[in-house]
Amino acid sequence: MALHIVASRPDPALVRLPWSTPLAEWSDEYVVPLPRGLSRHIVRTVRLGEKVYAVKETQEEIAFREYRLLRDLQRLGLPAVRPVGVVTGREDDADEPLPCALLTEHLAYSLPYRALFAHGMSTDSLPSLVDALVVLLVRLHLADFYWGDVSLSNVLFRRSAGGFASYLVDAETGELRPSLSRQMREYDVQVGCENVFAELLDLQAGGRISPNVAGHEIVTLIQQRYDDLWAELTAEEEFSAGEMSRIEQRIERLNDLGFDVDELDIVTDFDGDRVRIQPKAVELGHHRRELQSLTGLDVEDAQARRLLNDLTAFIAHFDLGREDRGIAANRWFTEIYEPIMAMVPPEARGKLEPAEIFHEILVHRWYLSERAGHEVGIFETARDYIDTVLTAKPDELVAGDDDALPEDDPDAGVL
């Protein structure tokens, strides 16, 4: 059978991969030793020139279904890995058929949850990890996406201003529906609670987190955070006609959470004495879009909020309030952000995303200023942070051998 590659982002180098060899036997000539997670399938991460891909062996029908679903999620602007293509018609040297392969782009600066703990993350960060998972689940549900297998293992995490942003990495059990019922949403949350509880037990058994971590409290947090966020984003609110300012207050609360209101349903009673409002369409990325329109930077929403706060402080410090905000943002970008990023040596640029480095410099500045008893300059802070903190961090752009799980780990070889 002839090899057949269906690709949305054609890369001629894909043809050169050893498709006649089972994925488990691919050599270091192609495979990048990234941190490995858990999966039902054999997965390898490969580098072709400057591009890095994840390759998963699976059944042809499942591969095409997941490929198309991931493309739909991309069109909807939802956080998921980018699909590249599907490879069918694979045969080994004895003309025996090999499994179909699904290719996705590697998500730069992302890590599976187990690797985060291997990189020194403390159990104090578990609530932030849960928040990122819940925000992802709510965003998918708002788009009428049924996940079916909510878990930490099916997510990749990127650092975002001290917290995390999460991306769907396995859509095999997912389904985009015309509408998503409350029962299906509740089932997704229930499955998520059960899977996360099991994953925490696994981390404890492997000595990766403290045995004192109460798994039941973490899964209770998942349900609580989901219910709170879903209600804030979708709940109907009723008030008197004299309280119309509550419309603006509701929008401001959603903006503070990072969401824009694309559509708001406003209904009054016959006499106009009572008003009911309900968000009908909300979208995460309020701060991200604002920063991008001002500076061109495309970062996670929490990072954008942090950078916008520093921009506001810059405007206040130089009394630029009467200037056009776009002009002031350009000054901040060219006089502060760009020069600081230029200070980072080439060998340290794979440690963290630039926006996360800038966020950590701002945090570092607070600590240095507290210790010195006066405000420490941003460039002095940046030099100290780069020399004493950043250079000691592991690479997260594409992690190397030291970040991979030990070869005797029973889960090594799967993602």
Which residue type is seen at 198?
A
pTM: 0.87
How many Cβ atoms sit within 10 Å of the Cβ of residue 278? 15
pLDDT, position 401: 37
Q: What are the tens digits of pLDDT across the range 44-86? A: 999 888 889 999 999 999 999 999 999 999 999 999 999 999 9
149 neighbors 172 (Cβ within 8 angstroms): yes
To the nearest whole percent, how much of the chain has pLDDT over 70?
93
176 neighbors 72 (Cβ within 8 angstroms): yes
Assign residue 49 a region (left: φ > 0; alpha: ψ between -120 and 50; beta: otherwise): left
Q: Enumerate the β-bridge partners of residue 175.
A: 146
* Residue 341: Cβ-neighbour burial (10 angstroms; 0-12, 13-18, 19+): middle
3-state helix, strand, coil in the chain (%, to 5): 45, 20, 35
Q: What are the tens digits of pLDDT across the range 204-216? A: 888 888 888 888 8
Round to whole Å and give the CA distance between 166 and 113: 10
pLDDT, position 1: 60
Round to whole Å and give the CA distance between 157 and 129: 8
Round to whole Å and give the CA distance between 281 and 134: 18
pLDDT, position 34: 64
pLDDT, position 33: 72
Torsion, Cα 140 296 262 280, to 10 degrees, reads 20
List the domains of the chain with CATH numbers: 4-106 (3.30.200), 111-234 (1.10.510.10), 239-284 (no CATH), 301-392 (no CATH)
52 neighbors 17 (Cβ within 8 angstroms): no
User: Average pLDDT for consecutive 10-residue bins of the chain (415 residues)?
Assistant: 81 89 90 66 87 93 96 95 95 92 93 83 86 96 96 94 94 94 97 95 86 87 95 92 88 91 86 84 92 96 95 94 94 97 95 96 95 94 96 76 38 35
DSSP code string of 254-292: HHHTTEEEEEEEEEE-TTS-EEEEEEEEEEE-HHHHHHH
